[in-house]
Structure 1
Amino acid sequence: MEFTVKNLNKFLFFKLPSAFICGVRVKEINDTACLVTVRHRWINQNPFNSMYFAVQAMAAELSTGALVMRQIHKSGKKISMLVANNKGNFSKKATGRIKFSCNEGYKIEEAIRNTIATGEGQTFWMKSIGTDEKGVQVSEMDFEWSVRIKQ
C-alpha cells in the first residue's frame, strides 16, 4: 500500500471501522509528521458534552501508528508493531474539530534498523498533541511502540 492520505483513510474504513465511524481521519503524512483530525459529534461524545477519551486516544494513536507503518513499509521487511504502553493527559474539554499531531517520525528509523540488525524487539515512545480549533491543547498522549522483525 502506498502511504497516501486517501489510502490510510481507506485502511481505516476496512481495518478500524470504529475509528472511521467516529470520524477519525488522516489529513497529512510525511516521513516525520502526521496530522489526524476528529470532530466532536453525537456518535463520539461522553455524558459531559465533549469528546469521549477513547476517541481521542484512537486519533492520537493513529497519528503515531501511521508513521510507524510508513517506516515499516519503506524498510521492505516484514516487521510487526504493537502498542506496548500508553499514557494520556486531558487538560480541557474536547469540542469542535480536534487535531492530533505527531512530529516524532525521526524516532522510528533507528528502531527499525536495530530490529533488522539484531532480530530483537525495539521500543520507543512517541507523543501526540491534541488541539482544538483555537489552537488550545486539549490532550497529550504518549504511546510506547514495540517493533520486531518477523522471523
Structure 2
Amino acid sequence: MSLRKANWGLKLFAWRYIPLIGFCSPKIVRMDNSTLEVTMPHSWRTKNHLGSIYFGALAIGADLAGAFLVFSKAKSRGVNANFAFKDVQGQFLKRPEATVHFTSNDGDIIDTMIDDSLATGERINKPVSVVVTCPSLYGDEPMAIFTLTLSVKAKAKK
C-alpha cells in the first residue's frame, strides 16, 4: 500500500470511527512490511500546559504505530482482522517539545499473530513496542517507549 493510500485510509478511519485521531493530525511517513512510522505535529491541539506533547496525544500516536500495520496487512491479505489493545505500559523519558515520530518495527510479530489466529481460530495476544522520538530537537534519542499488548483475531473473508 502506498503512503498516499495509507494516509487516506487513516483519515477515513479516523473520520468514520475515532474522530479524536483526526483531531491530532497524524501522518504516516514510512510504512513497509516490518515498520510503521507516524508523525504528529506539535500544535495547540496536541500540546499540554507545559508546552510538550500531551500524554493523550502520545497514547494516540502509540496506538496508531502499534496497530495500523494490522489494518493494512489484513487488507492486503484479504483477511478480516479484529484487533484491540489489552494493556499499555509507557516510559516517559524526556519532554517532546516539537513534532514527534512514533515508530514500531514489529511487522513480523503482526504477521505471525495473523497467521496463528487464522490457523487456530483463536485470539492471539502479543506485546508490540513503539518508540517516540523528536528528531528536530533530539535526533533518534527516545522521548518515550510504549509496550502495548496487541490482541488480534483473524478469519478469512467469505
Under a length normalisation based on structure 2, what TM-score does the superposition of the two structures give? 0.85
Which letter does structure 2 place at the counterpart of 1:149?
Answer: A
1:105 aligns with 2:107: yes
1:150 Cα shift?
5.2
Task: Answer whether contact 2:7 2:27 (CA < 8 A) is retained.
Answer: no
Partner of 2:30: 28
Taking the TM superposition and a 5 Å limit, the aligned residue runs for 1:44-123 are 44-123=46-125
Q: Does 1:142 align with 2:147?
A: yes
Distance 1:68 1:149 in 2: 10
Percent of pairs with identical residues: 23
Q: Unaligned regions of 5+ residues in structure 2, if any? A: none
For residues 142 and 112 of structure 2, the distance between their equivalents in structure 1, rounded to whole angstroms, comes to 29
- Structure 1 position 2, deviation (Å): 7.7
What's the CA shift for 1:126? Answer: 0.8
The number of residues matched between the two structures is 151
Corresponding residue number in structure 1 for 2:132: 130
Corresponding letter in the other structure for 2:9? L
Does the CA-based 8 Å contact 2:131-2:146 persist in structure 1? Answer: yes
* Aligned-residue CA RMSD (Å): 2.0
Cα deviations by residue, 1:97-126 (Å, 9 ceiling, x for unpaired): 111111110101111111111111111111
| 1:9 matched to 2:10 | yes
Deviation at 1:131, TM superposition (A): 0.6
> 2:117·2:154 contact (CA, 8 Å) conserved in 1?
yes
The 1-side partners of 2:6 and 2:120 are apart by 32
**Partner Cα distance (1:9, 1:149) in 2:** 20
Q: Is the 8 A contact 2:104 2:130 kept in 1?
A: yes
TM-score normalized by the length of structure 1: 0.89
Gap change, CA 1:43 and 1:6, over 3 Å in 2: closer
What is the CA distance between 1:75 and its match in structure 2? 2.9
Aligned residue identity for 1:139: A
Give the whole-Å Cα distance in 2 for the aligned partners of 1:42 and 1:149: 38
**SS of aligned partner of 1:56:** helix
